[in-house]
Amino acid sequence: MNKVKIITDSCCSLSPKKLQELDVDYIAMDISVNGVNYNSFDCPITDPEEFYTLLEQSESCSTSCINNFTFNEKFEKYVKEGYDVFYIGLSGGMSCTCNNAKTVAGELNEKYGKHVWVADSITGSFSIAFDVLMAKQLADEGRSAEEIFQSLDQNGLKTFAVFAPGDLKFLKKSGRINKFVANIGSVLKIVPIITSNEKGELKLLNKAIGRRRAIKFLEEFVLKYADLTTAGKMYVGHTGQKEVAEQFAEFLREHTQNKEIIVDYIDYTMGCNCGPRTISVFGFLK
């Protein structure tokens, strides 16, 4: 059996340092803020607070999917070195990145034999991190790339990701909601509670009037649907809401057993879509 190389993208919200420690390779997406282009993992603005302050004041922002050429370069390198490749990144329902990876995998598998497996996480941010960590564990246990794919494709871990965005205009900019809904929501101070459906597309889970009620809904969601007893991790992600995120983490610690509650910044790519002042929670379903 060939060695397995795990590859992900910058939407997993794990830092390059963390990924390097795991011996997981990655491809960073490009982002643009106010017409200035950045590599999301090699951005000159290294302080997330500074970045999300800039984003909040921005007139425009956008993200770019990973193209076929980049995938081919990365995947083929490892195939030629004798690896089988397992790739998992941002949901195919949120970006064409996953489909691009599948196209390249098909071409390389036809050329070299079956050596590349591409899984659809049908999620984003720290829920992808769960997949990456499990893929690494399975690889260390001697599982093949195909076995890892069978375990993780289409959210095999049954994780959840729930977001309370700070401002609807960023979802509007990214095309996730239409302009009319964004404008009405901003006027009425409606905070949408967003998750993903079975296709990995964003869907409205609920609506709250004001941030306090939005956080309350996140708390109620976790208590009702999350696995709070099994040992493992839960993530509280945010885009410049560290104090609120820490308070939410304390709530989780009070209601969980054997859980490591990690508070961290959502990566810049996902942050450009959900916007500054977002609070989110990631974990495993019951």
Q: Are strands 30-33 and 36-39 parallel, antiparallel or unpaired?
A: antiparallel
Does the pLDDT at position 22 exceed 60?
yes
What are the sequence ranges of the domains in the chain?
3-29+65-152, 159-284
Whether the full predicted model's pTM is greater than 0.75, yes or no, is yes
Domain 3-29+65-152 architecture: 3-Layer(aba) Sandwich (3.40)
The answer to whether domain 3-29+65-152 and domain 159-284 are alike in fold is no
Helices (H), 43-141: 48-56, 68-80, 97-112, 126-140
Return mean pLDDT, the chain.
91
Does the pLDDT at position 279 exceed 90?
yes
The pLDDT tens digits of the residues spanning 73-132 come to 999 999 999 999 999 999 999 999 999 999 999 999 999 999 999 999 999 999 999 999
Query: Which pLDDT value is given to residue 169?
Result: 67
In sequence order, which residues have a C-beta less than 8 Å from that of residue 104 and are 6 or more positions away? 68, 71, 72, 75, 116
The top-level CATH class assigned to 159-284 is: alpha beta
Helices (H), 234-281: 242-255, 268-274
Token pair in block for residue 112? 């070299």
Reduced to 3 states (helix: H, G, I; strand: E, B; else coil), residue 270 is helix
Does the pLDDT at position 185 exceed 70?
no
d(C-alpha 196, C-alpha 178), whole Å:
17
